[in-house]
Homo-oligomer: A and B are copies of this chain.
Amino acid sequence: MNELEIFKALSNQTRLQILQWLREPEKHFPPQGHSFTEVGGCVGQIQQKCGLTQSTVSEYLALLQRVGLITATRMGQWTYYKRNDEAFEALGKFVQSTL
């Protein structure tokens, strides 16, 4: 867990927003073929809610994945991104007891 890189990833309003959507994907995205709790939400749906371009959102998601905050699952032509609960748990502990 690279805390500095994680905090950089969290230093953007849109990315914070995305993470909060992915916390409860069933409340924020329209019904889809795959289980929200299994795979999360896909790039296209996230992009629509952001209002930013596809390339920007794709890069944001790749960044969040690179630092370990979310995980990716490719299913056919879709990539689903899901919140990584353990990472947030660990980061919360780090903030409280190390930082």
Binding site for B on A (CB under 8 A): 3-4, 7-8, 10-13, 16, 19-20, 23, 88-89, 91-96, 98-99
Contact = CB atoms under 8 A, between A and B. Distances in A.
B92 A88 contact: no
Contacts of A96: 88-89, 91-92
A47 to B, nearest CB: 20
A23 B92 contact: no
Number of copies of this protein chain within its complex: 2
A99 B56 CA distance: 21
Contacts of A23: 98-99
Nearest to A19: B99
A92 B10 CA distance: 14
